[in-house]
Amino acid sequence: MENKNTDLKIKNLRKAFGKNKVLNGIDFELVEGERVVILGPSGSGKSTFLRCINWMEEPTSGEIYFDGVLLTEKNIRKMRRNMGMVFQHFNLINNLTVMENLTLAPVKLKLMKRDTAEKRAKELLRHIGLPNKANAYPASLSGGQKQRIAIIRAMMLSPEVLLFDEPTSALDPESIGDVLELIRELADRGMTIMIVTHEMSFAKEIATRIVFLDKGKIIEEGTPDEFFNHPKTPRVKEFLKKVL
Amino acid sequence: MGGFFDKVVELFSTPEYIDSLLHGFWLTIQISYFAILIGILLGTIIALIDTAKPSKWLVIPKFICRIYTTIIRGTPMALQLFIMFFIIFAIKGFPSIITAIIAFGLNSAAYTAEVIRGGILSVDIGQTEAGMALGLSRRTIFFKIVAPQAIKNIIPALGNEIITVIKETAIVSMVGMYDLNMAAKDIGSGQNMASYIVPMFVAALFYLVTIYLITFIVKQVEKSLRKSDLRAEE
Ligand SMILES: Nc1ncnc2c1ncn2[C@@H]1O[C@H](COP(=O)(O)OP(=O)(O)OP(=O)(O)O)[C@@H](O)[C@H]1O
Ligand SMILES: [Mg+2]
């Protein structure tokens, strides 16, 4: 590898909800430009893993370094602007227009002046083919439109990493293509990405690395070729038999 | 029925009666207004404490809020009023209107707190998470995202609470205060019209019109808040 920065370094991450131990010691590194797809059975802790990275869930123990900085309760808010998150259910803010959804954070965080933010938002809306939706409220948009707007909302802050948790699971087949197309484009432009998805062909196509979680542990990881064509563990073999 | 009509004419042509009614009505309005104000202020504080993220600083305040709403909601309003009048504010010369306002205000706060709490909790957690993921502060998330959505759910129920308070204040006549209800009783008594029916109907009409007006205003506010639910044109 060339001289690339390590965006994320995770040491022995554990998370329990009461007695339910969901993450059981995850060690993980993410290097700039990588696109990591997280796979695993339902309940294996994929969402929890992503949500611990930006402290949507506070880790029970372990360390997460972002750009070499140890994440803590105190600095997490400032650090979050560097890691965009895209949710399964889009989570556009219902009482704000599309334009307000896009500009709220950059303006509030004083990263951009309002007119700069609006200009940027308009560019991005035009780019995803929704220039006429700036003043629409989320309730008037289709799922695919909402998700693409949620993605450019995350991009408004120019994050170093984008975290996607099943971004297409709540969409109809037609919209799935549009959203995947946008993610593919971000990937082509070198965006560092972590994504949980059930779209296996997309995972194969986009991933530089596949990580497989089972019972809150990474039990196998490798390139898409290694993972899909030469799986090592019986657990992954069994999983692939089911999903492919 | 002629008698009824005569009584109506009598009531409306006797300035003292009209005066008494307006006096009573004014007291009802004053008590209701300030009680509702206290209810909303205190109720908001209670609801905010109740829905705040648990922390060691909030353990005791949260506990107090729970106890408070449990007691207020678990005992009759009339009893609370009597306790205020004859025990807590049984001070000579203490203005009874203040005692009544405090009693109704404290009562309304418990109900309003539940209304506001429900409104806040009804906002999808995903809305808060979106704000967190964008690095927004708790303050911004509350004021820009959660509160505006909660208000939509709160307004209709708050309207009901306001109406309840106005009607409930009629029990102040039980501690001898001259509100609208008392005015009607007074005008109908033996020394005056010697017939309760007309003054009672007129008092009822006063309550009805006031409450109708409030219902109307609440509906208008609801409508104007609902704009983000409507399909915006392209
Ligand atoms: N906020 C929470 N409180 C309590 N338990 C939780 C919470 N979030 C997740 N869990 C539990 O953690 C476990 C893992 O959940 P998680 O959502 O991370 O799995 P997942 O791999 O994303 O599954 P799926 O593929 O179904 O999305 C589950 O047992 C779930 O019940
Ligand atoms: Mg999940």
Print the domain residue range for A179. 37-43+77-92+141-243
The pLDDT of residue A84 is above 80: yes
Q: Determine the residue type at B28.
A: T
Q: pLDDT value at position A3?
A: 67
* C-alpha A217 – ligand 1 centre gap (Å): 14
Query: Does a structural domain hold residue A215?
Result: yes
Residue A111 · residue A148 · CB < 8 Å: no
* B81-105 as b/e: b if 16+ CB within 10 A: beebbeeebeeeeeebbebbbbbbb
Q: pLDDT value at position A159?
A: 96
Interface contact A104-B228, CB threshold 8 A: no
Q: Which ligand lies nearest to the CA atom of residue A56 in the structure?
A: 1
Q: pLDDT value at position B233?
A: 39
Residues of B in contact with A134 (CB under 8 A): none
Q: pLDDT value at position B196?
A: 86
Contacts of A108 (CB under 8 A, 6+ apart): B136, B137, B140, B144
ipTM: 0.93
Print the domain residue range for B74. 2-233
**How many distinct structural domains can be found in chain A?**
1
Which of the four pLDDT bands, split at 50, 70 and 90, describes residue B232?
Answer: very low
CATH value at residue A159: 3.40.50.300
The pLDDT of residue B89 is above 50: yes
Ligand 1 atom nearest residue A57's Cα:
1
pLDDT digits (tens, 9 = 90+) for B22-56: 999 999 999 999 999 999 999 999 999 999 988 89
Angle subtended by helix axes A98-108 and A114-127, to nearest 10: 140
Comparing alpha-carbon positions, the chain B residue that sits nearest to A156 is B134
pLDDT digits (tens, 9 = 90+) for B192-201: 888 888 899 9
Residue B131 · residue B145 · CB < 8 Å: yes
pLDDT digits (tens, 9 = 90+) for B128-163: 999 999 999 999 999 999 999 999 999 999 999 999
Q: pLDDT value at position B234?
A: 36
The pLDDT of residue A19 is above 70: yes
Partner-chain residue, chosen from B131, B135, B229, that has the shortest CB–CB distance to A81: B135
Give the residue-averaged pLDDT of A66-75: 94
Q: pLDDT value at position A148?
A: 97
Chosen from A86, A108, A145 to mutate, greatest number of chain B CBs within 10 A: A108
Which of the four pLDDT bands, split at 50, 70 and 90, describes residue B230?
Answer: low
The pLDDT of residue A1 is above 60: no
Q: pLDDT value at position B4?
A: 83
Neighbours of B116 (CB within 10 A): 26
A203 close contact with B: CB closer than 8 A: no
Residues of A in contact with B125 (CB under 8 A): none
Query: Does a structural domain hold residue A236?
Result: yes
Give bridge partners of residue A85 from the DSSP assignment.
Answer: A163
Q: Where are the alpha helices (DSSP H) in B122-196?
A: 125-133, 138-140, 147-168, 180-188
| Closest Cα to atom 9 of ligand 1 | A48
Residues of A in contact with B145 (CB under 8 A): 93, 95-96
Interface contact A139-B132, CB threshold 8 A: no
* C-alpha B82 – ligand 2 centre gap (Å): 56
Mean pLDDT of chain A: 95
The pLDDT of residue B228 is above 80: no
Contacts of A11 (CB under 8 A, 6+ apart): A27, A62, A63, A64, A65
**How many distinct structural domains can be found in chain B?**
1
CATH value at residue B123: 1.10.3720.10
Which of the four pLDDT bands, split at 50, 70 and 90, describes residue A244?
Answer: confident
Query: Does a structural domain hold residue A51?
Result: no
Query: Does a structural domain hold residue A186?
Result: yes
Q: Which helix (H) or strand (E) holds A56?
A: none
Q: pLDDT value at position A2?
A: 55
Chosen from B134, B152, B225 to mutate, greatest number of chain A CBs within 10 A: B134
pLDDT digits (tens, 9 = 90+) for A230-241: 999 999 999 999
pLDDT digits (tens, 9 = 90+) for A103-153: 999 999 999 999 999 999 999 999 999 999 999 999 999 999 999 999 999
The answer, as to whether pTM is greater than 0.90, is no
Max CA pair span of chain A: 55
| Closest Cα to atom 16 of ligand 1 | A45
